[in-house]
Amino acid sequence: MAEAWTLKGEMALSCSCTVFCPCVLSLGDHPPTEGRCQTWAGIRIDSGNFDNIDLGGINVGLMMDLPGIMSRGNWTAALFVDDKAAAQAVKGLTRIFTGRVGGTTHLLSILVGQFLGVRQVPISYETKDETRHVHIKDYVEGAITPVRGKDKGENVTIRNSQYWIAPDVIVARADKSRFRGFGRNWNLAGRSSEICQLDWGNQ
């Protein structure tokens, strides 16, 4: 297959929904709790490739602004790629995250109506205790912590869903969540977040 790709890692996502994002269970058919969805995500790529280009060790970020029900589309999106990534890796990641090469992210080619482009900036994605700390220079400051479950050592998790990002989703809350850029200034602290293990590709 031309432009074959794979990507494994972890995503921490923060959105404007108040309790938990209904899109996970409704698969995009239920409106966001605030009527529209404002969201950013940080992604740590542990391993992956775009054709023969190694993507392992690269951090990525996304901004998405949805005017209503997810499945109706007309999203606005932007992509952030770590400044340490080589030009060919940035090109491959852009094709992946705009859905142009099929596979897991193909939906983005259908649902995103306006793509604001790619910014290559320093991005860090760190885990301290269980909190995911995401920093996208000049754009994002985030700290995402899982919601504790009844059983000690286990977090509240939605399992075996058909959610396109991942079948298992850790329910989380944003301790800190600021996004500034592209004419937007969001403070999503205290609102819905999720943590997902990614196993994506088109093979």
The answer to whether residue 127 sits within a structural domain is: yes
The answer to whether residue 65 sits within a structural domain is: yes
The answer to whether residue 202 sits within a structural domain is: no
pLDDT tens sequence across 184-196: 999 999 999 999 9
Q: Buried b vs exposed e over 119-141: b needs ≥16 C-beta within 10 Å?
A: bebebebeeeeebbbbbbeebbe
Give 53's strand partners. 50
Q: What is the C-alpha to C-alpha distance for residues 13 and 63, in angstroms, rounded to an integer?
A: 10
The answer to whether residue 203 sits within a structural domain is: no
pLDDT tens sequence across 68-113: 888 888 999 999 999 999 999 999 999 999 999 999 999 999 999 9
How many domains does the chain contain in total? 1
Q: What is the C-alpha to C-alpha distance for residues 60 and 80, in angstroms, rounded to an integer?
A: 6
Confidence of residue 27 (pLDDT cuts 50, 70, 90): low
Q: What is the C-alpha to C-alpha distance for residues 146 and 149, in angstroms, rounded to an integer?
A: 9
The answer to whether residue 201 sits within a structural domain is: no
The answer to whether residue 150 sits within a structural domain is: yes
Asked whether the predicted pLDDT for residue 1 surpasses 60, the reply is no
Q: What is the C-alpha to C-alpha distance for residues 94 and 119, in angstroms, rounded to an integer?
A: 10
The parent domain of residue 137 ranges over 5-196
Q: What is the C-alpha to C-alpha distance for residues 158 and 40, in angstroms, rounded to an integer?
A: 20
pTM value is: 0.92
Q: Tell me which of 26-30, 52-56, 143-147 is least confident.
A: 26-30
The answer to whether residue 188 sits within a structural domain is: yes
